[in-house]
Amino acid sequence: MRDAGPSLPRNDPRQYDDLAGEWWRPDGAFAMLHWLARARAALVPPAARPGALLVDLGCGAGLLAPHLAGKGYRHVGVDLTRSALAQAVAHGMTAVNGDATAVPLADRCADVVAAGELLEHVPNWRAAVAEACRLLRPGGLLVLDTLNDTALCRLVAVHIAERLPTVPRGIHDPRLFVDDRELVAECARHGVDLRVRGIRPGVPGLLRWLVRQVRGGATPVDRAPHIVPARSTALLYQGRGVRGG
**Rounded to whole angstroms, how far apart are CA atoms 206 and 61?**
23
CA triple 139-227-44, angle to 5 deg: 20
Q: How far is CA 176 from CA 25, 53, 179, in A?
A: 27, 29, 9
The number of angstroms, rounded, from the C-alpha of 231 to the middle of its chain's C-alpha atoms is 20
Judged by beta carbon, residue 84 or residue 199, the one nearer ligand SAM is: 84
Judged by beta carbon, residue 58 or residue 241, the one nearer ligand SAM is: 58
Q: How would you classify residue 20: left for phi > 0, otherwise alpha for psi between -120 and 50, otherwise beta?
A: alpha
Quick check: 99 binds ligand SAM (CB under 6 A)?
yes
Q: Using CB under 6 A, which of 4, 19, 31, 33 touches ligand SAM? A: 33
How many residues belong to the site for ligand SAM (CB under 6 A)?
Answer: 22
Q: Using CB under 6 A, which of 121, 134, 190, 240 touches ligand SAM? A: 121
Q: Using CB under 6 A, which of 4, 32, 58, 177 touches ligand SAM? A: 58
Quick check: 230 binds ligand SAM (CB under 6 A)?
no
- CB within 8 A of 35, min separation 6: which ones? 201, 224, 225, 226, 227
Q: Using CB under 6 A, which of 76, 118, 129, 135 touches ligand SAM? A: 118
Residues that bind ligand SAM (CB under 6 A): 13, 16, 33, 36-37, 58-60, 63, 78-81, 84, 99-101, 116-118, 121-122
